[in-house]
Amino acid sequence: MAETTDVLFVDGVRTPFGRAGDKGIYWNTRADDLAVKTIVGLLERNPSLPKERVDDVAIAATTQQGDQGLTLGRTAAILAGLPTTVPGFAIDRMCAGGMTAVTTTGSGIAFGQYDVVIAGGVEHMGHHPMGQGVDPNPRFLTEKLVDPAALNMGNTAERLHDRFPDLTKERSDRFGMRSQQKVAAAYAEGNIQSDLIPVSYRTETGWGLATEDQGMRPETTMEGLAALKTPFRPHGRVTAGNASPLTDGATAALLTSSRAAKEFGLSPKMRMVSFGFAGVEPEVMGIGPIPSTERALKNAGLSIDDIGLFELNEAFAVQVLSFLDHFGMDDDDPRVNLWGGAIAIGHPLAASGVRLMTQLARQFEQHPEVRYGLTAMCVGLGQGGSVVWENPHHAKYGK
């Protein structure tokens, strides 16, 4: 019987994220090429790892069609120059696709069936708008299994405001403004650029090189946010300023066993401690990270007070605020999203989970006093996903 082994997050990279649509930098770029770019970049950053020693490649996408179809993990691996002996697969858990790629392949490492894996996600929301081409089973609606509003993520965010009156529009706007400010500060301090893989792109005016995220708005003010339209209902509270924009981008992570890390001289940036996924009412999918985090903490034998750094995906500000309120944390808790989040950076659905991990890994390096961190996100159709990580730079790591 195979013995369990540590699951190590060795490295993570991503493309700069671009705005979705014909004004976005990746409008003329294929989705699978974005995924390939991250895999190539990841391997170039870890040259001591023989390509043939990669045991599997898992790439997530929410809309698996067109240039996001054809078993992305396999096709991207071949296109990235991995030997044909390296298998691959595609995976979908909507927004938590990349996160699930990591926990699924990581479980294979823990069980002793893998030594080295690449896991990530890609979403080209310009080419493949969320929900494009899907055919929901009529029973969802005719048997009232799901409210029609649950199929629109903006409506579910408005439902959170309805359910929790303390989650005001002003709080959401302020959180959105702070996200923009924190991302700008992180760029100014050089905290984000080191894990970005530059991408060449072509527009009507010629070729360019993407080296930073396209959607940042550091000039955001509360006055400007207050004047934005509420597209999901008249006089609503969810706006473009307190929600993540539609985004294109890709991510990839390198995970190994302790044995492989030692063999190839790789230094781990994090150790996976536990994970949890949970389901909630689809109509209020934003609260999903609450039960998934409770499950992950229980699996780890930890409490929320043991977590020293949080990377929470900002699909909507109200979604993060509901998490903070539940766990008794302040809106501006210094442990949460140190470098901002998806409201400023963007949320290319299946890619985002690995972005959270990559940022947490960098923060661990700067904060050896922190032992445990959490990456968590809400997921469409009423789910949440959470992963607890341990900091190898902490004095108690491995003890």
pLDDT band at 144 (very low <50, low <70, confident <90, very high): confident
Tokens of 293: 């985090």
207, burial (CB in 10 Å: exposed 0-12, middle 13-18, buried 19+): exposed
Q: How far apart are CA 243 and CA 177, in angstroms?
A: 11
For the chain, the structural domain boundaries read 7-127+245-388
Residue type, 278: A
Q: 124 and 34 in contact (C-beta within 8 Å)?
A: yes
- The set of residues, in sequence order, having a beta carbon less than 8 Å from that of 51 and lying 6+ positions away, is 43, 81, 82, 83, 86
Q: Is the pLDDT of residue 316 over 60?
A: yes
Judged against a pLDDT cut of 70, whether residue 160 lies above it is answered with yes
Q: What is the mean pLDDT of residues 163-179?
A: 97
Residues contacting 377, CB < 8 A, separation 6+: 95, 96, 99, 289, 312, 313, 315, 352, 353, 356, 384, 385, 386
Q: Quote the CA–CA distance of 287 and 160 in Å, as a whole number.
A: 8
Does residue 146 carry a pLDDT above 90?
no
Instruction: Give the C-alpha separation, 75 to 79, whole Å.
Output: 6
Q: Which residue from 156, 158, 182, 124 is spatially nearest to 336, judged by alpha carbons? A: 182
Residue 272, number of CB atoms within 10 A of its CB: 23
Catalytic machinery residues = 95, 347, 378
Mean pLDDT, range 180-190, rounded to an integer: 98
CB 243 within 8 A of CB 318: no
pLDDT of 79 reads: 98
- Work out the mean pLDDT of the chain and round it to a whole number: 95
Over residues 224-259, the pLDDT tens digits come to 999 999 999 999 999 999 999 999 999 999 999 999
Taking a C-beta distance cutoff of 8 angstroms, is the pair 122, 90 a contact? Answer: no
pLDDT at 3 over 80: no
Q: Is the pLDDT of residue 376 over 80?
A: yes
Using the predicted structure, report yes or no on whether residue 31 has a pLDDT greater than 80: yes
**Residue 351: strand, helix, or coil:** helix
Q: How confident is the model at residue 397 (pLDDT cuts 50, 70, 90)?
A: confident
CATH number of the 7-127+245-388 domain: 3.40.47.10
Give the percent of the chain with pLDDT over 90.
Answer: 90
Give me the residue label for tokens 């479980």: 107
Percent of the chain clearing pLDDT 70 (strictly above): 99
Stretch among 44-58, 249-263, 265-279, 384-398 having the lowest mean pLDDT: 384-398
Give the pLDDT confidence of 255-305 residue by residue, as tens digits. Answer: 999 999 999 999 999 999 999 999 999 999 999 999 999 999 999 999 999
The enclosing H or E element of 98 equals: helix 97-110
Do 19 and 215 contact (CB within 8 A), yes or no?
Answer: yes
C-alpha atoms less than 13 angstroms from C-alpha of 212 in its C-beta half-sphere:
13
**Above 60 in pLDDT, residue 199?**
yes
| Confidence (pLDDT) at 276 | 98
Assess whether pLDDT exceeds 60 at residue 2.
Answer: no
pLDDT at 379: 97
Helix, strand, coil percentages, rounded to 5, for the chain: 40, 20, 40
